[in-house]
């Protein structure tokens, strides 16, 4: 028997979860690399950068995977 989604159930494709993990982890990795190669960063700058990168990657993910999510309905 093939598993089917219930109406309204979120879509969790592997590529969506990998992209989401990348969106969450990317700001942390970039900040750590900056601290290693450039120097210390203030807490406010870290928070601002993390929020900015998260918003930008979220927007990119939304437009990238919107069509595949709509096709699953």
Element (H, E) at 16: helix 14-37
- State how far the Cα of 1 lies from the Cα of 29, in Å rounded to an integer: 42
Among 69, 65, 67, smallest CA distance to 20 is for 65
Does pLDDT of 69 surpass 80? Answer: no
> Which pLDDT score, from 0 to 100, does residue 30 have?
85
> Domain spans of the chain?
42-73
Contacts of 34 (CB under 8 A, 6+ apart): 41
Among 14, 36, 33, 35, smallest CA distance to 25 is for 33
> Which pLDDT score, from 0 to 100, does residue 50 have?
82
* pLDDT tens digits, one per residue of 4-56: 766 666 666 677 778 778 878 888 888 888 889 988 888 898 888 888 888 88
């Amino acid at each position: 028997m093939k598993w089917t989604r219930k109406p309204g159930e979120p879509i969790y494709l592997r590529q969506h979860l990998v992209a989401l993990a990348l969106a969450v982890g990317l700001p942390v990795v970039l900040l750590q690399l900056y601290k290693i190669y450039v120097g210390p960063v203030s807490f406010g700058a870290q928070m601002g950068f993390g929020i900015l990168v998260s918003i930008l990657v979220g927007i990119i993910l939304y437009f990238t995977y919107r069509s595949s999510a709509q096709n699953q309905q």
